Structure 1
Amino acid sequence: MADEPIRVTVWGEGRHEKRDANVLAHYPDGMHATIAAGIAEHAGPAVTVRCTTLDDPEQGLPDSLLADTDVLTWWGHIAHDEVSDDLVDRVQRAVLAGMGLIVLHSGHYSKIFKRLMGTSCALRWRNGDDRELVWTVDPAHPVAAGVPSPIEITNQEMYGEFFDIPAPDELVFVSSFTGGEVFRSGCAWRRGRGRIFYFSPGDQDYPVYHHPDVRRVIANAAVWAAPSATREPTPISYAPTDWFAKP
């Protein structure tokens, strides 16, 4: 496994680009393509990267693709409810068996993230041309490697506390905004054999995924989240009473 590239699948909702000219201008090939390019740019030969979207067959993630994925990145916003519960079940099983999951920005409200966290994952937000400073609070963490502190994002949506998530196993980044808000913007957890990283910068209305330091963080997270050994062929089973069970 260590001698083979990490197989990264970038899943995107892909809807804003089809209906909003401003988003299309920032991401003419889709946000998913820009995210994928950033991972490939910064992780280099350590990864192979492919893209898929909600409107692809089987909502972009058939069993064959999940089985061939070491790390899945997830960006969604306006179509969370369209993601089937069956797909959420399958992604959850893959994570528990060892697949890494990188959840980006408004993916905090996705079915899969809420399932794995076991909380509402609600937060405060303000949509405006805000400035975000992303401060590194754990400089020794692999996801922070080569990243300046702070990362300055001049135009961004504000996300603020309270963020209804379980306490992270590792807190890597905290953001501040011009209104005085703060936010836990880079959080890591382990669920079963899988690693999860949430990174908040990346609203569709701004070209955040072109920012070199944001791209580096996501690439670092993809490498960090990769399974360190062969994934279990049989996912961990769970009982309906377990904390991470489907509600």
Structure 2
Amino acid sequence: MPIRTLVWGENVHEKKNRTVAENYPEGMHNQIASLLRQDANISVRTATLQEPEHGCTEEALGQTDVLIWWGHAAHDQVDDAVVRRVMEHVWQGMGLIVLHSGHHSKVFKGLMGAPANLHWREAGERERLWVVNPGHPIAKGLPAYFELEYEEMYGEPFTVPEPLETVFVSWFQGGEVFRSGLTYRRGAGNIFYFRPGHETYPTYHNANVGQVLRNAVNWAYSGERHAQLMKAPNRPVGEAIEKIEERGPKLTASMHAGEVKE
């Protein structure tokens, strides 16, 4: 079975900025999708902010193995109910790849439990991405480093939790460095944050970036959902694995009759 991948994009800059529209005449989300389609093992759909429920309905997410998220100008316009839905699917096992300014999305900050702040500068600087974990599946087929001639600078400190793994570290012409490829696990879901992707530059036309994204989809895929992780059931004494006797006070419904009345 192919990996069912949903590419989510705001689709805002493409409609308002001529440079972005020239870089991505079909929208950034469609260009990212075209990179993924170079892998026959990945089937791709797209969704945008403007669709009902932002294209992230329960049915759509239920049919998604890996979700890719690019956002920037409209983080606050993403409905909180949709954010919660996405997070619950990640907790159950859906993979998530967050791109560039998606670090400030409600989804990413919610899953990280952190502000995800950083320093930035939009000056068209050269970015050199070093592969610091060459044995990682996300780095498969990449050189020791690769460069993007024009990119927005992100600089440390990056206020996110310590990652499970760091795959890429970036250097910029201005001298800053940044942890540009980080992996996490939340519940049963694999998460990868990948830094490059500023909208006024042709980053998603770069072959190495495409290789990273295809590798990341294959890495993030689990093919399973663990719905039981969304529940907190009571396990009665009679269902204990080992035989036990109930003892001591408790706060379950059967004991509420003993509460002190004011």
Under a length normalisation based on structure 2, what TM-score does the superposition of the two structures give? 0.87
RMSD over aligned Cα, in angstroms? 1.0
Matches within 5 A, 1:78-227: 78-227=73-222
CA distance in 1, matches of 2:224, 2:182: 24
Uncovered stretches (5+) of structure 1, i.e. residues with no partner: 239-247
- Residue 74 of structure 1 is matched in structure 2 by 69
Q: Which residue of 1 aligns with 2:230?
A: 236
What do residues 64-97 of structure 1 show as CA deviations (whole Å, max 9, x unaligned)? 0000000000000000000011011100100000
Query: Partner residue of 1:56?
Result: 51
Q: 2:175 is paired with a residue of what secondary structure?
A: coil
1:5-20, aligned counterparts within 5 Å? 5-20=2-17
Greater RCO, CA 8 A, separation 6+ = 1
**Residue identity matched to 1:25:** E
Displacement of 1:184 in angstroms is: 0.2
- The SS at the match of 1:45 is coil
Separation in structure 2 between the aligned mates of residue 51 and residue 147 of structure 1, nearest angstrom: 26
Number of the residue aligned with 2:23: 26
Contact 1:94 1:235 in 2 (8 A): no
1:136-178 CA-to-partner distances (Å, cap 9, x unmatched) read 0000000000011211000010001010000110100000001
Aligned residue type for 1:141: H
- Relative distance call for 1:146 and 1:60 in structure 2 (3 A) is same
1:47 aligns with 2:49: no
CA apart distance, 1:235: 4.8
Q: CA deviation at 1:115?
A: 0.4
Q: Percent identity?
A: 51
Bigger radius of gyration, 1 or 2? 2
2:40, 2:200 → 1: CA distance? 31
What letter matches 1:182 in structure 2?
Answer: V
Measure how far apart 1:232 and its partner are: 2.0
Long gaps (5+) in structure 2: 233-262
User: SS of the residue aligned with 2:134?
Assistant: coil
C-alpha distance in structure 2 between counterparts of 1:195 and 1:57, whole Å? 26
| Cα distance in 1 between the residues matched to 2:206 and 2:225 | 32
